[in-house]
Amino acid sequence: MLMSFRWYGNKLDKIPLRYIRQIPGMRNVVSAIYHIPVGEVWPYEDILVLKNEIEAAGLLFKTVESVNVHEDIKLGLPTRDHYIANYCLTLKNLAKAGIEVVCYNFMPVFDWTRTELAKTLPDGSTALFYDEKVIKGLEPTKLVEDMEKGSNGFELPGWEKGRLASIKKLFDLYKDINEEKLFGNLKYFLEGIIPTAEECGIKMAIHPDDPPWSVFGLPRIVTSKANLERVVKLVDSPANGLALCSGSLGANPNNNVPEIFGHFAKMGRLHFAHVRNIKIYEPGVFSETAHKAEDSSLDMYAIMKALYEADFAGPLRSDHGRMIWDEVGMPGYGLYDRALGAVYLYGLWDAIDRCTKDFSKSV
Which one, 102 or 234, has the nearer CB to ligand DNO? Answer: 102
Which one, 28 or 105, has the nearer CB to ligand DNO? Answer: 105
Catalytic, 263? Answer: no
Which one, 305 or 318, has the nearer CB to ligand DNO? Answer: 318
Backbone angles phi, psi at 38, to 5 degrees: -55, 130
* Residue 202 engages ligand DNO in binding (rule: CB under 6 A): no
H-only helix segments in 235-332: 246-250, 257-266, 300-309
Q: At what angle do helices 179-200 and 225-234 cross, to 10 degrees?
A: 50
Catalytic residue among 13, 274, 291, 346: 274
Q: How far is the CB of 207 from ligand DNO (least distance, A)?
A: 4
Site residues (CB under 6 A) for ligand DNO, limited to 289-318: none
Contact 116, 150 (CB under 8 A): yes
* Residue 31 engages ligand DNO in binding (rule: CB under 6 A): no
Which one, 251 or 305, has the nearer CB to ligand DNO? Answer: 251
CA angle 41, 44, 48 (to 5 degrees): 135
* Residue 103 engages ligand DNO in binding (rule: CB under 6 A): yes
Q: How many chain residues touch ligand DNO (CB under 6 A)?
A: 12
* Residue 158 engages ligand DNO in binding (rule: CB under 6 A): yes
* Residue 157 engages ligand DNO in binding (rule: CB under 6 A): yes
Q: How far is the CB of 184 from ligand DNO (least distance, A)?
A: 20
Catalytic residue among 70, 207, 263, 271: 207
Contact 249, 212 (CB under 8 A): yes
Q: How far is the CB of 11 from ligand DNO (least distance, A)?
A: 18
* Residue from the set 42, 104, 261, 349 that interacts with ligand DNO by CB under 6 A: 104
Catalytic, 176? Answer: no
* Residue from the set 51, 114, 207, 220 that interacts with ligand DNO by CB under 6 A: 207
Instruction: Please tell me whether the peptide bond between 66 and the residue prior to it is cis, using omega within 30 degrees of 0.
Output: yes
Backbone angles phi, psi at 273, to 5 degrees: -120, 130
Applying CB under 6 A, which part among 44-52, 86-94, 97-105, 225-233 lies near ligand DNO?
97-105
Q: How far is the CB of 68 from ligand DNO (least distance, A)?
A: 7
Q: Per DSSP, what are the bridge partners of residue 131?
A: 285
Stretch (H or E) spanning 133: helix 132-136
Catalytic, 274? Answer: yes
Site residues (CB under 6 A) for ligand DNO, limited to 111-130: 111-112
Applying CB under 6 A, which part among 98-106, 165-173, 189-197, 231-239 lies near ligand DNO?
98-106
* Residue 262 engages ligand DNO in binding (rule: CB under 6 A): no
327 Cβ contact partners less than 8 Å away, ≥ 6 residues apart = 334, 335, 336
Contact 111, 211 (CB under 8 A): no
Applying CB under 6 A, which part among 51-59, 105-113, 173-181, 186-194 lies near ligand DNO?
105-113
* Residue 271 engages ligand DNO in binding (rule: CB under 6 A): no
DSSP 331: T
Euclidean distance between CA atoms 83 and 70, whole angstroms: 7
Sign, CA dihedral 164-169-171-173, equals negative
* Residue 332 engages ligand DNO in binding (rule: CB under 6 A): yes
* Residue 212 engages ligand DNO in binding (rule: CB under 6 A): no
DSSP 294: G
317: closest CA among 271, 275, 261, 257? 275
State the Rg of the chain over Cα: 19
* Residue 265 engages ligand DNO in binding (rule: CB under 6 A): no
Euclidean distance between CA atoms 163 and 40, whole angstroms: 13
192: left (phi over 0), alpha (psi -120 to 50) or beta: alpha
Euclidean distance between CA atoms 128 and 51, whole angstroms: 30
* Residue 275 engages ligand DNO in binding (rule: CB under 6 A): no
* Residue 8 engages ligand DNO in binding (rule: CB under 6 A): no
- The footprint of ligand DNO (CB under 6 A) covers 65-66, 103-105, 111-112, 157-158, 207, 320, 332
The residues that are catalytic are 207, 245, 274, 319-320, 333
